[in-house]
Amino acid sequence: MNNELKTTHEEQFEVVGSSLLVRAPAKINLSLLVAGKRPDGFHDIETIMAKVTRYDEILIEPGEKTGIELICKGPQWAPTGKDNLVYKAAQTLFQTCGKTANLRITLTKNVPAGTGLGSASSDAAATLLGLAKYLQLDFDQQKLNELAAELGSDVPFFLNGPLALCKGKGEKIQKLTENFDFLALLILSDVTISTQKAYVNYRHDQTLYNKLKYLINNYIEENRIDLVVKMCANMLLPSCFALKKSLAELKAKIESLGIRPLCLSGSGSAMFCVLDINDEKRAWSFQQELSMHTDCKSIIVTNNRW
């Protein structure tokens, strides 16, 4: 079966001899509103993101070669060398602090790219945090946030969290302090969607945006993130489904099995169903249904603690 259970809460940093292991969690978008297009061509968004207990791993250790040596391994694909955000994050940090170091960084890729789970952004943030700790750099939170924003819109969230309202391109972080505990069934298909294409294909609906914004802001003020989740509000969904009709068909098929409410994370293609933190039996039942009727991989996770 393509099923996994990942509900243990591990620490982000683990010292292993002379090395430092850093965990980079996946995220899901509990809501995603598009406020409109900016003059620079990007879109302003308002999204509630939550980290979950599915991790990439980054091992930082002394290197035998000059500079940064990046090794990628694991069940999921990742670009190698300078195209990887882990490499770019390390390079950006060294350029900023004016230091050099001979390091080997090994990325174990468990979170698939192109699924809306923020894997590359999380890897970049974990690299910044890990290197700052490993090299004992005197970087404050503001400086790290600035470096993160240079690397990508979602990267600053992964320095903060674990639950936050993100605005602008995603780099403006408002931490949400409510302790919202949940189980989530992550559903991974073989479909991938380009975030860039999803936004290019997006057609703005101002009336819908105003309506969703009003409801979500009220729920946030009432500390009812659970009600936000039940809305499954993702304004990129029509664009994503227009690009990948097979994903729309898959969502309908899964919902026909009684697995609902089923939400799209980010620009997809990962989908998720949020359940009560104590509803593990129901999550297992959903996994069995998926195994019987689809070829999708599923993972049971919980909200992350950090």
- Give the pLDDT band of residue 160 (cuts 50, 70, 90): confident
**Number of separate domains in the chain:** 2
* Single pTM value for the model: 0.95
The CATH number assigned to the domain holding 290 equals 3.30.70.890
**The one catalytic residue among 51, 56, 109, 154:** 154
pLDDT tens, position by position, 165-176: 999 999 999 999
| 213 is annotated as an active-site residue | no
161 lies in the same domain as 143 = yes
Angle 85-97/119-134 helices, nearest 10 degrees? Answer: 40
197 lies in the same domain as 142 = no
Q: Which of 130, 151, 175 is the last residue of a domain?
A: 175
The CATH number assigned to the domain holding 78 equals 3.30.230.10
- Give the pLDDT band of residue 2 (cuts 50, 70, 90): low
| 56 is annotated as an active-site residue | no
Q: Which of 149, 175, 201 is the last residue of a domain?
A: 175
Give the per-residue pLDDT at 9. Answer: 75
The whole domain housing 126 covers: 3-175
Flag whether pLDDT at 50 surpasses 90.
Answer: yes
171 lies in the same domain as 223 = no
pLDDT tens, position by position, 193-251: 999 999 999 999 999 999 999 999 999 999 999 999 999 999 999 999 999 999 999 99
The DSSP result for 189-244, as a single string, is -S----HHHHHHT----HHHHHHHHHHHHHHHHTT-HHHHHHHT-BTTHHHHHHH-
161 lies in the same domain as 216 = no
pLDDT tens, position by position, 14-33: 999 999 999 999 999 999 99
Give the per-residue pLDDT at 65. Answer: 85
157 lies in the same domain as 283 = no
171 lies in the same domain as 247 = no
Give the per-residue pLDDT at 1. Answer: 45
